[in-house]
Chain A
Amino acid sequence: MSGSLKVRVQRYRPEEDDAPWWQSFEVPWSEDTSVLDALNHIKDVEDGSLSYRWSCRMAICGSCGVMVNDEPRLGCKTFLRHYADADEIVLRPLENLAVERDLVSDIDPMLAHIETVQPWLQREQAEAPEAGETLQTPVQMARYESFSHCINCGLCYAACPQFGRNPDFLGPAALTLAQRYNLDSRDEGREARMPFLNGEDGVWACTFVGYCSDVCPKDVDPAAAINQGKVASNVNYAVNLFRLLRGGDDA
C-alpha cells in the first residue's frame, strides 16, 4: 500500500501575512505514513518555513493536534492510508483557538482553564512520607481511571462549539480533570473545585453536544465526565439551598 496524496495546509506567518492562505504539496505515502510524517516530509523537503508542534510521535505528548479534513485529530495518530480515496487532505490549526503561526495554536486559554479547577491531589493536612502510601482499592481506582488518561491535547476544545461560542467556558478537559480528582478516594479538594463547576462557565455551559468524546484520542469520554459533574453540581446546589433555608451562609 503506497501512493501520493495532495496535502493542503493553511499557512499564516504573522510577520508577513494579514490573513491565512493555502499551500498545497504532493506527499508520497506508504502504509505507516502519518499526518505528522507528512508534515515532517514537507518541512524537510518542500518548505522549511512551515511551523507545527510535535514531540513524541506516539500519542502521549498531546502536541500535534490539527484539524484534518475539518476533524480534530492527532497528527501522529492519523494515517494517510485512510485518506487514499480522498482527493486531498486539508490541514488547519485547531478550531476555537487563536492561531499563532501556520498550524500552531495558542493553547494558553485551555491551560488556564485546566489550572482553574486545581487538578491535583489535595489533602487537608500534609502527611509525612513516613506515614506510608494512601491506599486505594481497584474498585475505587476504576471510578476515575478512564478520566485520568487525558493528555491535554486540546482536541476536545477544538470539537466543542460551546467553547467556541464562549471562550470563558472551562471546557471538556478542565471539567473532566475536575471530575477525575473529585472521584479520587485519596483527594480532599472537592470543596475548592465545586464553585468553579457550579458557576455559569462551569458544567452548566455544556449542552451535551458530545463531539468531544468522539474526537478524544485517548477515549476519555469528557462528555460523560462533564454530565456526571452536572449531577454533582445539582446535588451541591440542593445541599446549599437546604443550608440557606435553615438560615446558613451561601456557599
Chain B
Amino acid sequence: MRKPLPPRQDALWWWRHPAYRRYMLREATALPLFLYALCLLYGVRELGRGETAFQAWLAFMESPPLIALQAVALLAVLWHAWTWFQLVPKILVIPTRHGTLPGHWLRLAHVVPAALCWLLLPLLAWWALGQFAGGGA
C-alpha cells in the first residue's frame, strides 16, 4: 500500500539554512538599491527645476533618514558586487586553445577593475567638482 507524505515548503524555508539566508540577503540588496535609485531619479527632476530645487534635494539627501538609506545602499551594493563577481565565472565560459579560461582569472579580471572604479571615480568627481566650485568662487 502506498501512502506517501507529500513534500511541503513553508514560507520561512529561507531562514532554515545559512546558504538560503545568504541567498536571501543577496536578493534583498535590491530593496535599498531600488529606493536609492528613486532618490537619484527625483534628483534629476529637481536638477532641471533650477538651483533652489537642487539645493533642497541636496538638503533632502543629507537628512538623517537619507544618510541612513545611503549607508545601507553602500553596504548592499558592495555585497551585491561581491556575490555578483563570485558567480560570473560560473556563467561566463571563455574558450581558449587548451580549454577554458580558469574561473579565478575571470573573477580577478572583474574585481580589480571594479575596485579601481570604486576608488577612482569618487576621487575624480571630487577633483572635477572642486574645479567647478573653485572656479565659481
Q: Counting CB contacts under 8 A, is B3 at the interface?
A: yes
Q: Counting CB contacts under 8 A, is B71 at the interface?
A: no
> Do A224 and B90 contact each other (CB < 8 Å), given the known contacts A164-B9, A164-B13, A209-B23?
yes
Residues of A within 8 A of B125 (CB): none
When the two chains form their complex, are residues B14 and A161 in contact, meaning their CB atoms are under 8 A apart?
A: yes
Most-contacted residue by chain A among B20, B87, B90, B99 (CB, 10 A): B90
Name A104's closest neighbour in chain B (CB-CB). B4
Bound complex: CA of A70 vs CA of B95, how far in Å?
38
Name A19's closest neighbour in chain B (CB-CB). B5
Q: Counting CB contacts under 8 A, is A111 at the interface?
A: no
Bound complex: CA of A99 vs CA of B2, how far in Å?
10
Q: Counting CB contacts under 8 A, is A201 at the interface?
A: no
Most-contacted residue by chain A among B1, B2, B16, B19 (CB, 10 A): B19
Bound complex: CA of A82 vs CA of B50, how far in Å?
67
Size of the chain A interface, CB-CB below 8 angstroms: 34
Q: Counting CB contacts under 8 A, is B7 at the interface?
A: yes
Q: How far is the CB of B84 from chain A (nearest CB, A)?
A: 10
Among B5, B7, B9, B19, contact of A209 (Cβ-Cβ < 8 Å): B19
A93-109 to B contact mask, C-beta < 8 Å, 1/0: 00111111000001000
Among A14, A96, A210, contact of B1 (Cβ-Cβ < 8 Å): A14
When the two chains form their complex, are residues A70 and B99 in contact, meaning their CB atoms are under 8 A apart?
A: no
Residues of B within 8 A of A227 (CB): 87, 90-91
Bound complex: CA of A70 vs CA of B21, how far in Å?
14
Q: Counting CB contacts under 8 A, is B131 at the interface?
A: no
Name B93's closest neighbour in chain A (CB-CB). A228
When the two chains form their complex, are residues A161 and B5 in contact, meaning their CB atoms are under 8 A apart?
A: no
> Do A98 and B5 contact each other (CB < 8 Å), given the known contacts A224-B90, A227-B90?
yes
Bound complex: CA of A227 vs CA of B87, how far in Å?
10
Q: Counting CB contacts under 8 A, is A223 at the interface?
A: yes
> Do A98 and B100 contact each other (CB < 8 Å), given the known contacts A161-B9, A210-B87?
no
Q: Counting CB contacts under 8 A, is B6 at the interface?
A: yes
When the two chains form their complex, are residues A210 and B4 in contact, meaning their CB atoms are under 8 A apart?
A: no
Bound complex: CA of A103 vs CA of B100, how far in Å?
41
B5-52 with Cβ < 8 A to chain A: 5-7, 9, 13-14, 16-17, 19-20, 23, 27
When the two chains form their complex, are residues A223 and B90 in contact, meaning their CB atoms are under 8 A apart?
A: yes
When the two chains form their complex, are residues B7 and A96 in contact, meaning their CB atoms are under 8 A apart?
A: yes
Q: How far is the CB of A196 from chain B (nearest CB, A)?
A: 20
A231-244 to B contact mask, C-beta < 8 Å, 1/0: 10000000000000
When the two chains form their complex, are residues A97 and B7 in contact, meaning their CB atoms are under 8 A apart?
A: yes
Q: How far is the CB of B74 from chain A (nearest CB, A)?
A: 23
Among B3, B6, B13, B99, contact of A142 (Cβ-Cβ < 8 Å): B99
Q: How far is the CB of A153 from chain B (nearest CB, A)?
A: 17
When the two chains form their complex, are residues B9 and A165 in contact, meaning their CB atoms are under 8 A apart?
A: yes
B100-124 to A contact mask, C-beta < 8 Å, 1/0: 1000000000000000000000000
Q: What are 6 pairs between A and B in contact, CB < 8 Å?
A: A70-B17, A142-B99, A164-B13, A211-B17, A211-B20, A228-B93
Instruction: State the A residues within 8 Å of B (CB).
Output: 12, 14-15, 20, 70-71, 95-100, 106, 139, 142-143, 159, 161, 164-165, 167, 207-211, 214, 221, 223-224, 227-228, 230-231
Instruction: State the B residues within 8 Å of A (CB).
Output: 1-7, 9, 13-14, 16-17, 19-20, 23, 27, 87, 90-91, 93, 95, 97-100
